Amino acid sequence: MAGSTFGKNFTITTWGESHGKALGVVVDGCPAGLSLCEEDIQTYLNRRKPGATRYSTPRREADEVQILSGVFEGKTTGTPISLLVPNTSQRSADYSEIASYYRPGHADYTFDEKYGFRDYRGGGRSSGRETIGRVAGGAIAAKILKELGIEVCAYTKAIGPVSIDMARFEKEAITQTATAMPDRIASAEAENYLSACMAKQDSAGGIIECTITGMPAGIGETVFDKLDARLAGAVMSIGAVKAFEIGDGVAAAKAKGSQNNDAFYADESGVHKKTNHAGGILGGISDGDTVILRAHIKPTPSIFQEQETVGRDHENRTVQIKGRHDPVIVPRAVVVVECMAALTVLDLLMSNMTARMDGITAFYQK
Amino acid sequence: MAGSTFGKNFTITTWGESHGKALGVVVDGCPAGLSLCEEDIQTYLNRRKPGATRYSTPRREADEVQILSGVFEGKTTGTPISLLVPNTSQRSADYSEIASYYRPGHADYTFDEKYGFRDYRGGGRSSGRETIGRVAGGAIAAKILKELGIEVCAYTKAIGPVSIDMARFEKEAITQTATAMPDRIASAEAENYLSACMAKQDSAGGIIECTITGMPAGIGETVFDKLDARLAGAVMSIGAVKAFEIGDGVAAAKAKGSQNNDAFYADESGVHKKTNHAGGILGGISDGDTVILRAHIKPTPSIFQEQETVGRDHENRTVQIKGRHDPVIVPRAVVVVECMAALTVLDLLMSNMTARMDGITAFYQK
Amino acid sequence: MAGSTFGKNFTITTWGESHGKALGVVVDGCPAGLSLCEEDIQTYLNRRKPGATRYSTPRREADEVQILSGVFEGKTTGTPISLLVPNTSQRSADYSEIASYYRPGHADYTFDEKYGFRDYRGGGRSSGRETIGRVAGGAIAAKILKELGIEVCAYTKAIGPVSIDMARFEKEAITQTATAMPDRIASAEAENYLSACMAKQDSAGGIIECTITGMPAGIGETVFDKLDARLAGAVMSIGAVKAFEIGDGVAAAKAKGSQNNDAFYADESGVHKKTNHAGGILGGISDGDTVILRAHIKPTPSIFQEQETVGRDHENRTVQIKGRHDPVIVPRAVVVVECMAALTVLDLLMSNMTARMDGITAFYQK
Amino acid sequence: MAGSTFGKNFTITTWGESHGKALGVVVDGCPAGLSLCEEDIQTYLNRRKPGATRYSTPRREADEVQILSGVFEGKTTGTPISLLVPNTSQRSADYSEIASYYRPGHADYTFDEKYGFRDYRGGGRSSGRETIGRVAGGAIAAKILKELGIEVCAYTKAIGPVSIDMARFEKEAITQTATAMPDRIASAEAENYLSACMAKQDSAGGIIECTITGMPAGIGETVFDKLDARLAGAVMSIGAVKAFEIGDGVAAAKAKGSQNNDAFYADESGVHKKTNHAGGILGGISDGDTVILRAHIKPTPSIFQEQETVGRDHENRTVQIKGRHDPVIVPRAVVVVECMAALTVLDLLMSNMTARMDGITAFYQK
């Protein structure tokens, strides 16, 4: 019950530490007959790879994925897909000092309390490198969703005080800007803000937004496995996420019913909503509209300023963190949010296939 | 995989519709030897009972709980506890019209799309009455937590634009004010706001805050079952919740690392944090500080104004909703948030008992 | 994790004790649109009802089922179905003595060791009445399977030394003989054997066989959720079952490969096997042939002879059990085996719907 | 829901095919602080390694395990342990012919029916090499059990008609005889029998017995997660197992209650049973006595005689299987049974830690 498995139908079980031999994931429940090669996964991993810009850790990792099982002659076989990414640039010496104290904003103290000790090299399992398994697994989920006409797209919405202007939304910019913002002008501003933070040995947080388009209506279960509940659990399980919103989110709590309700209308193509305050989900079930969610991410806790803390010996002391750290986590976390959303949606799409007697009957009569 | 079971160690399986014969819950995994009687549970159910104030539906329900199994001579036996609450005040005639159209902001359309039809009486399973099972089960979880020195306390933080002032926090007020606010002055203001909404046939939303005190450090798992992730999934599974925050939440995304990091310090009683921006959770694991979360709740979708929508026949039309509806969901949802938090924390407390070899050895050597 | 829920897609959560107010089950994951009424379930419950013959306990229970949720206008809605059966004939006084000692062959001692105490009235949760929830839930599973052309049929194969002769197999006899044997001649012999046992204050065991016909090929997962593994776990979870066989079972271990292998052949209707030593399962996956399993059931542990045992005070003593007890469990357990098999097969049929990419694509393109 | 994960608290997720790059397992829920090195696991893997005797496939595999995560400075960290065993001796050419037809007694046909195609190299995921992950994970479970004083010991009880004599039981012989029999005389007889089978291009089955000593009373849950039910599901999930027994097993069904009941008695060391027909389990819960189970294993389906079967083209044909195959699976499956039993027992030991309120209170008061 240590919770390293995500999902019920399409599951990922992730493993690996920042400075171990490798990290990886076992994907179970992937349907047979999907074309799959390393490149499908590598594309996603490259989006979270360190060292790409001056706002990410200078640690250089190839992060090259290997498919070890579950694929035969270019097709998934229906059996577990084991994906492995070797660690190649561990410099454990950088971290040896961390062994002796608790970094503020990190999991050093809580791991020690829970387990009695910890793998202090680069945060061990609490490192952002843990997300490699999520992204590798999520890449497969996203590929399946694309075959079903569903697209998941995440991007940076804000860094510190700098927000994008949706009127300037340019999808290609997401993978071209250093900030993963789809607005090149806001991105340049955000870069200035980050430079100022770095100059003061400080760090920044921000907001990631994610849209899911092409969703069929009916996805999500009625009570505990609501689509929004499962998305919330998935996205909040990413380290550093401190808040989660669906649709209008926090703004909805301030609105009146007459403002927040989305009127339905019908045309020849079916039933639609005039607005989308709901973020594509009603009663926990997709309504066919675009699903919109946001993750609020705290500033990188590793800052180079001197900080007050406590040693493992429980003596008060000050520390100055060294090593390689991103001044902002947001741009590299964009693909992680996208992948967790894809995994969640696919898992619930699979659940939904048994929701109706006529669907089951049709399946077994084929 | 229809998702009516919550939890992994201490589980609840809820059932029942707004206008069926009864609603209930099966609690599995409750440890043996806990003193338990109906009154323990009724106290919690009374906090969500309709008809208590002018801001809740005039539907009158006794909502009296019966314990059908799992308790012998006043103690839990370790076997499943079945709790049942009969429905006594169904007036299905009120709802028959709903059968023919989709109420904006409700799950009518999505249920029809998912299941092919729906129990249209009072929203069926998508009704707020679904939460009876959560509260009945959560009351038991909360009782166990109290025996371990852990207290979960939720209250209304805001209704529409009216927020409480923490300087006026008075715990007793939570169950005494019509708004479940712990600040009587803010509560009076909120009542004025609600009266104004009702006069305009409109509704309001708001914010529920929940604190968990007495938490041991070490609760929560490292990746997908992080304490904050599980709390997010639990709270977002409550109908009408549109956003979830831990600690500083959305504000953390705007802060700098030097502001958001909580410095550690030690004194004779152990290790503490000087501030609690983190909301009591670091790396997904409790740090021993108070856990703080917030749920943002949309305004009641049932408003009496005329609204545009679509019929089951997919014809555009207008509707005017009748029946018995709360102008604000927030006050009655307070105990639901509290119960979902209690269930989550207890479930992870149980998981944590197997985290260390020395803990297991000690248990079996007793 | 107390294990009162069975299944992953179509789940049952059972509750209730021998002498509590009621017993019941929550069925979650039942597809919407199935016609369902109390009678569908009652028919199955009547097959396990006590008091029907001289070989079952004289306790008289109506065992009348109530559907409390999940059905609207005669159809399942896709939401949880709560089924309740009141206990009406508890005579707890009969059992008060049991509180003070451990009955041989029963769970009195192990419950005390596990939970610290026990509900001693009629065995509490360890009573055979626990199976009411299994049968009520299994009746729904069996109904769905029938709509898919799959029939599960269990019967008594042997009681003590008396076995049926398959040449005399008569399906109607299963529900007409007191032994649930499909062979009236063997049934008469078995009745003589049971009378002899009863005369000596002794009890008998026996074998239940179950066939599943109309199975599509492809059901079952490749490793831990093999069809035979899941059937074994399901059937062995019924109290008093001490062994489980698939196909030739124990005889297979003595055979040679050339004898045990089933040759394939093809005709215009598809691929078949010339023999069925395998019992319809190859590599854990159904092969389209009849699935055959057997459950070996121990003799009723409640016998009226004087027995040596230990008191709760850990003093050695003798006991003479009173109360109402079946001299053989087998006939009433037949429907329980049938129901557990139906639940297992339906659960894996649902899992199998996501096994192939083309199946998923076809489902969402409809 | 593809079922490659076993367990609820201590879980293993296995992956890999006979002729893929590697096989492995992710162990999640292993408590922190256990000493662990490759050697602990290698010892178990060596017991199932091919090529050790003339009765196992001549395929030579080093089967050397690598620990990729979850261990730091020789201790488990509480995070997932990833274990990998490279495949080094794949000779896929041997198997290319299998692509075109269905081997009798194998999963070729059922995989094709389920997934639409299959990895035909050496059976792919249905190969006995799949058990590498089980054994690697089970070795860790067994190590933990040993620290708690619980020992799991499996051995060959019979091969074809040759059974061991318990009076000649010699534990060391299990790992020294080619048959894994603890009786050297029976082992020699069994070798003669196997030689005769091989001479006739035939194969043999047999029986594996497994004992679990040092079990505390109270392990196992009351209904679906009974210790015997979980052991049955675990052991029957091993390929080629066709029957499962606990205690007297099939013999219990023929006994009378007065014979099958085990009388309790008490002495200064506690409560015991005079006999152990029950196999150490009453009501699904361990009674403190030795747990005894048996697995009945079919003869190797790969025999070199000509056999009738069907091609993928659904044409009737005969085949003569080539390649490298064991004439009997039993000796190499002994350690697999032992490991599945260890995994099951440990998983339920962990569940049991939350069975009582006093246990939970004591844990959190420490």
- The DSSP result for C32-96, as a single string, is BT-B--HHHHHHHHHHH-TTSSTTS-S-------EE-SSEETTEE-SS-EEEEEE-----GGGGG
Distance, CA of C266 to CA of D315 (rounded, Å): 7
Q: Of A52-61, B156-165, C122-131, C281-290, where does mean pLDDT reach its minimum?
A: A52-61
Q: Average pLDDT in the D229-238 region? A: 98
pLDDT one-digit tens code per residue, D166-175? 999 999 999 9
CA distances from B219 to B216, B226, B351 (A): 7, 8, 8
DSSP string, A232-272: HHHHHTSTTEEEEEETTGGGGGGSBHHHHPPPEEEETTEEE
Say if the Cβ atoms of C9 and B1 lie within 8 Å: yes
Q: Which two tokens stand for residue A60?
A: 């250089």
Three-state helix/strand/coil letters over B220-264: CCCCCCCHHHHHHHHHHCCCCEEEEEECCHHHHHHCEHHHHCCCE
pLDDT of residue C56: 65
- CB pairs below 8 Å between B and D: how many? 84
Contacts of B179 in chain A (CB under 8 A): none
CA distances from A147 to A12, A47, A227, C357 (A): 20, 21, 20, 9
Largest CA distance in chain D: 71
CA distances from D15 to B69, B352, D6, D241 (A): 42, 27, 12, 20
Q: Average pLDDT in the A104-120 region? A: 96
Q: Average pLDDT in the D271-298 region? A: 98
pLDDT of residue D28: 98
DSSP string, A295-363: EEEPPPS--SSEEEEEBTT--EEEEE--S---SBSHHHHHHHHHHHHHHHHHHHHHHHTTSBHHHHHHH
**A224: nearest CB among B5, B106, B243:** B5
List of residues 6+ apart from C359 with CB closer than 8 A: A31, A363, C353
Shortest alpha-carbon distance between residue D35 and chain A (Å) = 13
Contacts of B79 in chain C (CB under 8 A): 2, 4, 15, 17, 119, 124-125
Q: Which of B276, B285, B278, B280 is nearest to B230 (CA)?
A: B285
Q: Which of B287, B265, B148, B214 is nearest to A113 (CA)?
A: B287
φ/ψ (deg, to 5) at A324: -115, 115
**pLDDT averaged over consecutive 10-residue blocks of chain B (366 residues)?**
92 96 98 98 92 63 94 97 90 73 96 95 92 98 98 98 98 96 98 96 97 98 98 98 98 98 96 98 98 98 95 95 85 98 98 98 89
What pairing do the DSSP bridges indicate for beta strands B71-72 and B66-67? Answer: unpaired
Contacts of B120 in chain A (CB under 8 A): none
Say if the Cβ atoms of A357 and C79 lie within 8 Å: no
Work out the number of other CB atoms within 10 angstroms of the CB of residue D213.
Answer: 14
What is the share, in percent, of chain C residues with pLDDT greater than 70? 95
Cα four-point dihedral sign D338, D339, D340, D342: positive
- B217 in reach of chain D (CB within 8 A): no
pLDDT of residue B206: 98
Q: Which two tokens stand for residue A286?
A: 């997709």
pLDDT of residue B2: 85
Secondary structure letter of residue B160 according to DSSP: T
Distance, CA of B338 to CA of B136 (rounded, Å): 12
Residue with the bigger pLDDT between C323 and C257: it is C257
Burial status of residue A208 (CB atoms within 10 A of its CB: 0-12, 13-18, 19 or more)? buried
Q: Of C36-40, C146-150, D125-129, where does mean pLDDT reach its minimum?
A: D125-129
Q: Which of D51, C30, B91, B150 is nearest to A356 (CA)?
A: C30
Say if the Cβ atoms of B310 and A265 lie within 8 Å: yes
- C354 in reach of chain A (CB within 8 A): yes
DSSP helix/strand/coil, B273:
strand
- Beta-carbon-side half-sphere exposure of residue A46 (alpha carbons within 13 Å): 8
Q: Which of A314, A168, A134 is nearest to A241 (CA)?
A: A134
pLDDT above 90: residue D61 = no
Distance, CA of D78 to CA of D277 (rounded, Å): 39
- B218 in reach of chain D (CB within 8 A): no
Contacts of D305 in chain C (CB under 8 A): 258
**A105: nearest CB among B206, B261, B279:** B261
pLDDT above 60: residue D129 = yes
- A31 and C357 in contact (C-beta within 8 Å)? yes
Average pLDDT over chain D, rounded to an integer = 94
Say if the Cβ atoms of B357 and D76 lie within 8 Å: yes
Contacts of A100 in chain B (CB under 8 A): none
Distance, CA of C190 to CA of C160 (rounded, Å): 8
Q: Which of C54, C95, C48, C89 is nearest to C340 (CA)?
A: C48
φ/ψ (deg, to 5) at A312: -60, -25
- C82 and B16 in contact (C-beta within 8 Å)? yes
What is the share, in percent, of chain A residues with pLDDT greater than 90? 89
- C242 in reach of chain D (CB within 8 A): yes
Say if the Cβ atoms of A4 and D26 lie within 8 Å: yes
pLDDT of residue C94: 62
Q: Average pLDDT in the D256-272 region? A: 97
Q: Which of D192, D168, D190 is nearest to D180 (CA)?
A: D190
Q: How confident is the model at residue C261 (pLDDT cuts 50, 70, 90)?
A: very high
**H or E, element range at B106:** none
pLDDT above 80: residue A324 = no
Shortest alpha-carbon distance between residue A67 and chain D (Å) = 9
DSSP helix/strand/coil, A8:
coil
pLDDT above 80: residue C50 = no
Q: Average pLDDT in the C245-268 region? A: 98
Q: Which of residues 122-181 of C touch D (CB under 8 A)?
A: 125-126, 130, 158, 160-161
Burial status of residue A366 (CB atoms within 10 A of its CB: 0-12, 13-18, 19 or more)? exposed
Q: Which of A140, A132, A129, A138 is nearest to A40 (CA)?
A: A140
pLDDT of residue A89: 73
Largest CA distance in chain B: 71
Q: Which of D208, D17, D242, D234 is nearest to C281 (CA)?
A: D242
pLDDT one-digit tens code per residue, D145-158? 999 999 999 999 99
CA distances from A19 to A91, A324, B266 (A): 8, 13, 29
Q: Which of residues 70-99 of D touch B (CB under 8 A)?
A: 76, 78-79
pLDDT of residue D91: 62
Contacts of B207 in chain A (CB under 8 A): 253
pLDDT one-digit tens code per residue, B157-211? 999 999 999 999 999 999 999 999 999 999 999 999 999 999 999 999 999 999 9
pLDDT one-digit tens code per residue, C84-101? 999 987 665 666 778 999
Identify the closest residue of chain B to D141 by CA–CA distance. B357
- D14 in reach of chain C (CB within 8 A): yes
Q: How confident is the model at residue D325 (pLDDT cuts 50, 70, 90)?
A: confident
Contacts of A206 in chain B (CB under 8 A): 253
List of residues 6+ apart from D324 with CB closer than 8 A: D50, D57, D58, D59, D94
Instruction: Give the residues across from D241 on adjacent strands.
Output: D297
Shortest alpha-carbon distance between residue C177 and chain B (Å) = 34
pLDDT of residue A97: 77
**Angle, vertex CA D286, rays to CA D281 and CA D287, nearest 5:** 85
Q: Which two tokens stand for residue C201?
A: 């204050």
**C33: nearest CB among B14, B15, B116:** B116
Distance, CA of B73 to CA of B36 (rounded, Å): 9
pLDDT of residue D58: 60
**D68: nearest CB among A2, A20, A124:** A20
- B348 and B220 in contact (C-beta within 8 Å)? yes
DSSP helix/strand/coil, A15:
strand
Identify the closest residue of chain B to C25 by CA–CA distance. B26
Say if the Cβ atoms of B125 and A222 lie within 8 Å: yes
Say if the Cβ atoms of A301 and B5 lie within 8 Å: no
Give the total residue count for chain D. 366
Identify the closest residue of chain C to A217 by CA–CA distance. C364
CA distances from A344 to A6, A340, B9 (A): 9, 6, 22
Pick among D354, D356, D358 to test the B interface (most B CBs inside 10 A): D354
Burial status of residue A336 (CB atoms within 10 A of its CB: 0-12, 13-18, 19 or more)? buried
pTM over 0.95: yes
